[in-house]
Amino acid sequence: MRGAEGEHDPLYLQGIAYFNACEFFEAHEVWEELWKNTSGEPQLFYKGLIQAAVALHHFGNGNVRGARKVYGSSREYLRRYSPFFQGLDVDKFLSELEVCFAEIESSDEESCVNEIDPELIPGIWLDPPVELPSIETER
């Protein structure tokens, strides 16, 4: 959603800030609030972002089964908004998520991955660039 001056919803930006800080649970919480108060076209977009954050949270905690399941639903929601929505290059984001989740997606073994590779975690960068709000992190 955009405000009267064409700006992104502050909760959308706050969720992005948490996501980019790898605070996936917090990103999920913020976007869930936005999702609950949204109707129409962007609602499933936010749900896809929520699911991406939850998948990365599960992956980071070693819950491979949960990560795989929620990642799959995230992809399905976000694909509807390809190639570009609300300043996000959806195709690029999905490609980066695919690389991040490739090992657990291609294996039947739940123990195939012990931890998430921080180098493979995608970031969310909007076009045109937007200054993200300051957030408090636990790290």
At 15-35, the pLDDT tens digits run 999 999 999 999 999 999 999
How many CB atoms within 10 Å of residue 104?
Answer: 20
At 111-121, the pLDDT tens digits run 556 678 899 99
Specify the pairing of strand 88-89 against strand 84-85. Answer: antiparallel
At 31-81, the pLDDT tens digits run 999 999 999 999 999 999 999 999 999 999 988 889 999 999 999 999 999
CATH number 1.20.1090.10 given to 10-120? no
Please state the pTM of the whole predicted model.
Answer: 0.90
Write down the pLDDT at residue 12.
98
Does residue 1 carry a pLDDT above 50? Answer: no
